[in-house]
Amino acid sequence: MIQNKKPTKDISKDDIDNKLFKVCNKKTKRLVKINNKITFGNGDLNIIAGPNGVESKKLIHKTASFLNRLGVKILRGHVFKPLTFPYRSSQYSESGVKGLEWLKEVRSEYDMTIVSEITELQYLDKMLNTIDILQIGTRNMQNFELVREVARSKKPIILKRHFGSSLRDLLGVAEHILYEGNYKLILCERGISAPHTHRETSRYLLDIQAIPALRELTNFPIISDPSHASFWAPWVPSLAYASVAAGVDGLIIETHPNPSKSKVDPLQPLNFNTFKKVFKNIKSLKRLTKKF
Ligand code: PEP
Ligand code: MN
């Protein structure tokens, strides 16, 4: 786990000359096929949506059913979760193995592909049965032992950039994953620390520039998470549209049937009505950006 906040060193010509990026480079086209319905990197825009945490069976069924009706194929929800502070309120506890069971149910009932975060190696075996894409969160980006072992499982991975990391550090971790022989890698920009985030509640700054910058360095799919970047639902639509215009292969957007009741980060999920509108707009925008 890394705690640094200052951006770390950028990629230099020496890094390239020293062949630090043997696999994570522009030499080969990189498609990440998850299953028969979903591939990242083929020009599709894959939307990953759902609540922050899998809080209850009811919540996850309600959300999966809504998303499925809308045509969203990938559901997110965490059953294990790093919290910034150690004080878990009485209303919040990880749903853990129980949550995995609920995810398994909705996976088959609504034919959803599931994304969930792995926080510790002890959960890996349990998650492998149910989870289609394992997320390595910002706080664990440089937890190399976790990263390497998850890579060895050969499961598709979403690797989130730490909020204080340079692209050099992010791609260094990517190189570790590829070195283990796992090429099912999706890179995620989710906001960086900056002195000004415009509003007390907006925790991070979505680094839109990272999207073309990563494109210049690697052919692996790139997605963006405007929900965690802004921490503020009213800004999520604009940041989602900006990410699409910048050419992402997918988006992570938090949605919850009753955002103010969300047990963690209640300011950031979109309610179902707003999500529906944003999803429609994203699809129109994607059609337009095909001409770019
Ligand atoms: C999340 O996706 O719920 C999450 C905690 O993300 P991040 O690691 O970007 O904060
Ligand atoms: Mn979260």
Decide which of 290 and 73 is more confident.
73
Q: Could you tell me which residues are beta bridge partners of residue 181?
A: none
Q: What is the DSSP string of 169-204?
A: HHHHHHHHHHHTT---EEEEE--B--S--SSTT---
Ligand 2 centroid distance, CA of 242 (Å): 21
Quick one: how far is CA 139 from the chain centroid? 13
Range 204-235 burial, b when 16+ CB lie within 10 A, else e: bbbbbebbebbeebbbbbbbbbbbbbbbbbeb
State the sign of the Cα–Cα–Cα–Cα dihedral 103, 153, 223, 78: positive
Q: Which atom of ligand 1 lies closest to the CA of 163? A: 9
Decide which of 291 and 180 is more confident.
180
160 in ligand 1 pocket by Cβ < 6 Å? yes
Mean pLDDT of the region 65-81: 97
138 in ligand 1 pocket by Cβ < 6 Å? yes
Q: Which atom of ligand 1 lies closest to the CA of 225? A: 9
Contact by Cβ (8 Å): 222, 46: no
Contact by Cβ (8 Å): 75, 68: no
- Burial of residue 112 (CB within 10 Å: 0-12, 13-18, 19+) is buried
Decide which of 201 and 39 is more confident.
39
Q: What is the pLDDT of residue 32?
A: 98
pLDDT, tens digit, 9 for 90 and up, residues 85-115: 887 766 677 899 999 999 999 999 999 999 9
Quote the percentage of the chain above a pLDDT of 70.
Answer: 96
* Mean pLDDT over the full length of the chain: 94
The CATH architecture to which 41-81+93-289 belongs is: Alpha-Beta Barrel (3.20)
Nearest protein Cα to ligand 1, atom 5: 137
pLDDT, tens digit, 9 for 90 and up, residues 254-270: 999 999 999 889 999 99
Q: Which ligand is nearest to the CA of 118?
A: 1
Mean pLDDT of the region 8-25: 89
255 in ligand 1 pocket by Cβ < 6 Å? no
Ligand 1 centroid distance, CA of 286 (Å): 25
pTM, entire model: 0.96
pLDDT, tens digit, 9 for 90 and up, residues 211-240: 999 999 999 999 999 999 999 999 999 999
Mean pLDDT of the region 134-159: 98
Domain extents in the chain: 41-81+93-289
